[in-house]
Amino acid sequence: MLIALTGATGTVGGHVARLLAPRHRLRCLTRSPERASHLGVPGLAVGADLGDPASLRRALTGADALLVVTFDPLRDVHDAHLLTAARRAGVRHVVKLSALAVTDPRAQDAITRWQRACEERVRASGMSWTLLRPRAFMSNCLSWAETVRDGGVVRTLHGGSRNSCVDPGDVAAAAARALTGREYRGGTYALTGPDPLSAREQVAQLAEVLGRPVRHEELTEAEALRAWRSRYPAELARALLESADRQARGAKCGVHDGVREATGRKPGTFRAWARRHEAAFRTKSVEGAAPPAGVTATPSA
């Protein structure tokens, strides 16, 4: 079976590549095959850009299944290009990395609306599909690594609000199964961790794992918005603020059984995730192991 992966140099796609490489042929789509090989991504790295339909068609020809990971809520043309190229290239099954927020009718921010629209495209694509809907990735906390290393501090908005965040390794395990097993076709999976946790609780667990104090400092809405505005267009910064506000109102506490349904195993805990990644909070990471300080990948879920 030939499986194509978008986002293979990123968090979930990279895990999926490592899980599937021993038993499947892989084509890892990336804008920079050299960087992919530098990062040690297994499989064949193929140059492709979501903004370039011809590159996508070339990269997908002959693939049986495709992991759909797209990144830019303000460029839904990327989703259209990818699905059109997949269908024309003869891909039969797509697994879409979406977000659990799509199931909340009160979530009307730009990021969630984009994920909903992409799910609709997938359903209408004519290919068989599986939809994976994770809550926030535990790995978003890697954006705290620099301030934890430098000053033993984490600053967030609504630090007492909880999110049933999920280990991206579990999301990847679900994706690997869905890409290769027929029984997942037509399925939607709500992927959460075992417990809703607040940033303050995560910080406390991180401190225990590191064996040294780490404190949480609360940001005001204005401070959080300013920080997001320095990295994202205004519409996305607003979407992140709305998302944080929904979390503060308890919208992201639900625990679902999707990890067990899709993988047959219990979802991993934050403490276990933190133990596996403690090095990033102690010493500066190599490229690819952690996102730049303060940046989390569209954490609207």
Ligand X SMILES: NC(=O)c1ccc[n+]([C@@H]2O[C@H](COP(=O)([O-])OP(=O)(O)OC[C@H]3O[C@@H](n4cnc5c(N)ncnc54)[C@H](OP(=O)(O)O)[C@@H]3O)[C@@H](O)[C@H]2O)c1
Quote the least distance from Cβ 297 to ligand X, whole Å.
4
> Contact with ligand X (CB under 6 A): which of 4, 5, 12, 110?
12
Cα 84 to Cα 61, 63, 77, 96, 148: the distances in Å are 12, 14, 10, 14, 43
Q: Does 9 bind ligand X (CB under 6 A)?
A: yes
Contacting residues for 223 by C-beta, under 8 A, at least 6 apart: 155, 157
Q: Does 159 bind ligand X (CB under 6 A)?
A: no
Q: Does 142 bind ligand X (CB under 6 A)?
A: no
Tokens 């992927």 label which residue? 191
The Cα–Cα gap between 41 and 10 comes to 10
Q: Is 249 exposed, middle or buried (0-12, 13-18, 19+ CB in 10 A)?
A: exposed
Q: Does 299 bind ligand X (CB under 6 A)?
A: yes
Q: Does 120 bind ligand X (CB under 6 A)?
A: no
The Cα–Cα gap between 289 and 80 comes to 30
Residue 178 β-bridge partners: none
Of 206-235, binders to ligand X (CB under 6 A) are none
Indicate the residue among 191 and 203 with the shorter CB distance to ligand X.
191
Tokens 């999110």 label which residue? 163
Quote the least distance from Cβ 213 to ligand X, whole Å.
26
Of 61-100, binders to ligand X (CB under 6 A) are 69-71, 97, 99
The Cα–Cα gap between 6 and 122 comes to 15
> Contact with ligand X (CB under 6 A): which of 3, 4, 5, 10?
10
Indicate the residue among 51 and 250 with the shorter CB distance to ligand X.
51
Indicate the residue among 39 and 203 with the shorter CB distance to ligand X.
39
**Which residues make up the interface to ligand X (CB under 6 A)?**
7, 9-13, 30-32, 35-36, 49-51, 69-71, 97, 99, 134, 136-137, 140, 296-299, 301
